Amino acid sequence: MAVVQTRDLTKVFKEGQLGAVNHVNFETREGEFLVFLGPSGSGKTTLLRMIAGLETPTSGDILIGGRVVNDLSPRDRRIAMVFQSYALYPHLTVYKNIAFPLKAQGVKKELHKEKVEWAALLLGIGALLDRKPRELSGGERQRVALARAIVREPAVFLLDEPLSNLDAKLRASAREELERFHRRVGTTSIYVTHDQVEAMAMGDRVMVLNKGVVHQIGTPTDVYDNPADTFVATFLGSPPMNLAELGDVIVGFRPEHFRPAGASSGDSVHFRLKVENTEYLGSEWIISGTLVGGKLEGKKVFSRLNSAQDMHVDTVCDFSVSQRELKFFDHTTEKRVEPRAVSWQ
Amino acid sequence: MAVARAKIKSIGAAQSPLLGAAMFSPAVLYILLLVAGPFFLAIFYAFSDARIGNSEMHFVGLENFRSILQSPSFRVAVRNSFIFTICSQIVVLVGAHILAIALEDKFRGRGLIRFLILLPWVAPIALGAIGWKWILDSIYSVITWVLVAVHIYKPFSAPMWLGEPRLAITSVLLVHSWRMLPFATVILLAGRTAIPKDIPEAAAVDGAGFWSTEFQIIVPMMRPIMSVAVLFGLIFTFTDMTVVYILTAGGPFDSTQTLPSLAFALGIQGSDLAAGAAISLFLVPVLVIIAYFMLRVAHRAEVT
């Protein structure tokens, strides 16, 4: 097991262009499950590939277990990677796929069988060892890819969107299985995804990236409840945090905190909302509308409620947000700032 | 779409079967006139004593085959045909594989290099072979000139590239390979680029070096497309006589004859049509075997 660390890591693909990864500094913890979360093109996969050794950094250092590995080939980094497509070797059986890393690294042949069977047992694919990858379902392929990754007991696991090829139903169970798997083996893992639900559910910590820049690293609750800037605030949560400019600050509040007047406790800010649309999602309602009166006249906002039978389109309702739930961001840097008094009227 | 297709079908095939027949008759005609015709004519000649310039013809049974099998030139030609075909395929496969690796990654001027490598294939084979004839000429050879200039050989004692049996065979073989290389390179390059990038990357992460990635992952994955390249190469080389004919015309002393060039030399140049036909019939069993494997590869490609 080892800690992965980067120092000022930068990758520029074409000279003169914006970097795909810019001055990234982070450090995993021992045995941690760290998630790189960001929209497509945020540089999260490039970052992962640099850690794997598949991409050469333009500048900066990568450390695995305290050792600079910039010049080491992938095979010398003691990492294992699960690719988005699983990248199973199509001409080899499951057994030979899993045994390949052992063979490639010169592990004694007598040990192969035992190790492959151990990995297969761990992932419950013991019955599939004689099949070829094309005879497997998506979920089985993922497990074979994981078994191939675990078989030589790597120091670090790198996972590049391993669930994105599965259908929605399978994804939820595969996610749970991955979590259980990580708890069992306890290897430091870095997981790349653009899916915030995956990130929140699986990550010990989440690192939010955009345009190659790290916006925030923190526990899922941290990044959700205390976003470092407006990007994190709007990228996480669905619908995203409501943001409104008020003088030199941007004020934000989550849709679930924007509730009918009276539901908020304590000191709160009041609004009037003209309801424009209501969506029933089974366990909750999403209300969208525009604010009426005050400085934010005409501002479009979302609300998430447990029940909203009495909200009708084109009616004007009273809403409020508790003062405690308001987040403040600097107008120019868009970074989080201390709460301050603002005038709403 | 389906409706339209059904309609066309009803107009074309069902209402007028003649139209369908008319549509594929050019293909049938082509095969009958240019493939089946000469083939059966060759069988017919092989059992006769047909000669150019002689209108009389008699059935002679297996006489032609008997005399051919006894001729030393024929035995040399059979041996050469197999040596040329097999060795040039090995040279081509190794060379094309190396070239495909080199040309896979992007670099400045890759387009130009790909074009240059393809050139021997596009250029008329006679032209290329004549170029080589000069390069390997006994008096004007640039290779000899260079070897003399760097003092490896004394003037006038350098080897005669096309004049000594062993060297001549090697020269013909290498020129053959040069000729086949572009085609195989293009096929193997296509095969390589069809392999998803993350397969070799996964192999790299799994700890495989260059050689084990190449031989345990890439080559096995490319086996179907490689067999296409090899089968085509086998047919092209086994039936080709241009290179031999231009470079050595089978000489010295028939030491570089192959089956097609010997058939041409005896049958057309030597006027002994019957002998030429009998020799060329010896190509058939080999070609049938190759064709069988080709069909199998094509069938497998269709199924998977």
Per-position pLDDT tens, chain B of length 304: 444 555 555 554 456 788 888 888 999 999 999 888 888 888 888 878 777 777 777 777 777 788 888 888 888 888 888 888 899 999 999 999 999 998 888 888 888 888 888 888 888 888 888 888 888 877 777 887 888 778 777 777 777 777 777 888 888 888 888 888 888 998 999 899 889 988 999 999 988 888 999 999 999 998 888 888 888 888 888 888 888 888 888 777 778 888 888 888 887 887 778 888 888 888 888 888 888 888 888 777 655 5
Residues A10 and A84 in one domain: yes
The arithmetic mean of pLDDT across residues A185-204, rounded, is: 91
The predicted structure's pLDDT at residue A191: 94
A 10 A CB-CB count for B67 gives 15
A 10 A CB-CB count for A118 gives 14
B72-303 folds as MetI-like fold (1.10.3720)
Chain A residue with minimum CA distance to B210? A104
B212/A105 Cβ within 8 A: no
For residue A136, what is the domain's CATH number?
3.40.50.300
Asked if B215 has any chain A CB less than 8 Å from its own CB, the reply is no
Greatest mean pLDDT among A118-122, A131-135, A169-173: A131-135
Last-in-domain residue among A171, A199, A225: A225
Residues A181 and A273 in one domain: no
Residue A208: give the domain boundaries.
4-225
B220/A104 Cβ within 8 A: no
Last-in-domain residue among A193, A225, A257: A225
Asked if B219 has any chain A CB less than 8 Å from its own CB, the reply is no
Q: Indicate the SS3 state at residue A299.
A: coil
- A342, part of any domain: no
Last-in-domain residue among A173, A193, A225: A225
The predicted structure's pLDDT at residue B1: 44
For residue A298, what is the domain's CATH number?
2.40.50.140
The predicted structure's pLDDT at residue B9: 52
Residues A217 and A245 in one domain: no
- A28 band by pLDDT with thresholds 50, 70 and 90: very high
Burial B164-173 (b: 16+ CB within 10 A, else e): eeeebbebbb
For A60-71, write each residue's pLDDT tens digit.
Answer: 999 998 889 999
The predicted structure's pLDDT at residue A88: 93
Residues A180 and A255 in one domain: no
Greatest mean pLDDT among A208-212, A258-262, A313-317, B17-21: A208-212
Instruction: Report whether A56 contacts A10 (CB < 8 A).
Output: no
Residue A93 is given by DSSP the state -
Residues A15 and A154 in one domain: yes
CA of A191 vs chain B CAs: smallest distance (Å): 16
Greatest mean pLDDT among A19-23, A261-265, B153-157: A19-23
Contacts of A103 in chain B (CB under 8 A): 212, 216
CA of A85 vs chain B CAs: smallest distance (Å): 8
Number of domains into which chain A is organized = 2
Residue B161 is given by DSSP the state T
Please give the torsion angle defined by the CA atoms of residues B232, B237, B239 and B241, in that order, rounded to the nearest 10 degrees.
150
Q: Where are the domains of chain B?
A: 72-303
State the average pLDDT for chain A.
Answer: 89
Substitution target from B206, B210, B221, B226 for chain A, most A beta carbons within 10 A = B206
- A344, part of any domain: no
Rounded to whole angstroms, how far apart are CA atoms A129 and A139? 15
For A73-92, write each residue's pLDDT tens digit.
Answer: 888 888 999 998 899 999 99
Residues A64 and A11 in one domain: yes
Which amino acid is residue A91, in one-letter code?
A: H
Contacts of B206 in chain A (CB under 8 A): 75, 80, 100-101, 104-105, 148
Q: Indicate the SS3 state at residue A48.
A: helix
Residue B208, classified by CB atoms within 10 Å of its CB into exposed (0-12), middle (13-18) or buried (19+), is buried
The predicted structure's pLDDT at residue B12: 47
A90/B205 Cβ within 8 A: no
Residues A25 and A122 in one domain: yes
Closest CA to B131 of B120, B116, B122: B120
Rounded to whole angstroms, how far apart are CA atoms A56 and A74? 11
Residues A62 and A207 in one domain: yes
pLDDT of A17 strictly over 50:
yes
- A234, part of any domain: no
CA distance readout (Å), B158 to B44, B55, B152, B214, B246 = 48, 49, 9, 40, 22
The β-bridge partners of A250 are A245, A329
Rounded to whole angstroms, how far apart are CA atoms A336 and A290? 25
Residues A76 and A162 in one domain: yes
The predicted structure's pLDDT at residue B231: 87
Residues A123 and A37 in one domain: yes
Q: In the block, which residue shows the tokens 């810019």?
A: A22
Residues A185 and A244 in one domain: no
For the stretch A39-45, contacts whose Cβ atoms lie closer than 8 Å and that sit 24 or more positions apart, written own/partner, are A39/A194, A39/A210, A39/A235, A40/A194, A41/A211, A42/A194, A42/A209, A42/A210, A42/A211, A42/A212, A43/A11, A43/A19, A43/A209, A43/A211, A43/A212, A43/A213, A44/A192, A44/A194, A44/A209, A45/A160, A45/A161, A45/A192
pLDDT of A156 strictly over 70:
yes
CA of A59 vs chain B CAs: smallest distance (Å): 22
- A231, part of any domain: no
